Structure 1
Amino acid sequence: MATRTIIVPEGMEFIRDELGYAPAVRVEQRLYIAGQIGRGSDRQLVADKEAQFTQVFENLRQVLEAAGAGFEHLVEVTSYLTDMRDLPLYMQVRDRYMAGCYPAWTAIGAASLCGAPGYFLEVKAIAELD
């Protein structure tokens, strides 16, 4: 069996300890990143839509960096949006972080996220590490 390493960036320990899952799991050279949402370091949902989308990518960046990686290591991204009309905004924010990176990408419309109102975006990803 391949070695599994749990990746928990500083400030995200509550995800493992209270919610019972890992922000990411490394298996050999592959990093599986759990869905990132627009909660800040204070664990509060960011209300403004563009700011929430930015927070999602900041959280994704933190997970990647904790694993010694960056956005250029992403090979697959799945985006869940509660309103597909937000796709242009999503792509604007995404391109601030992933310009020049071309992972495989799937966007999925979702009725709700995290079982609570106000969440507009969740992004999960897979990265291939050096």
Structure 2
Amino acid sequence: MSEAHPGAGPAVDGVLAALADPTRRRLLDLLAEQGGSTATALAEHLPVTRQAVVKHLAVLDAAGLVTGGRVGREMRYAVRPAALDATARWMAGLAADWDRRLAAIKRIAEAAERDSRSSDG
């Protein structure tokens, strides 16, 4: 179990850490839009060097968000949705837990309000 995100696990922690950087989020968006690309082509859309793009792609790869493979002389990268899916499921579960907690608080507050009105009258 992870300390930073209880119940999330190290895979989700890696995804969240990788996505904390806006350049990496933009890279992921570009790869999703293009269906795959090279670091050189991705760098044309960003205010960073190709070398910086390669480093960011390595972080995304380590988090399981992208995969890279050789096509001829080029290294092409593509999105791997499984890690995003697992993170989305964890976030949906977290949101559902909060929804349940907030609904319980609302019920308690409404009951207290009813009790207050009935004791006043």
TM > 0.5 fold call? no
Higher relative contact order (CA 8 A, sep 6+): 1
Give the number of the structure whose residues are more often strand, by fraction: 1
TM-score by length of 2: 0.28
TM-score by length of 1: 0.27
Q: Which has the larger radius of gyration?
A: 2
Give the number of the structure whose residues are more often helix, by fraction: 2
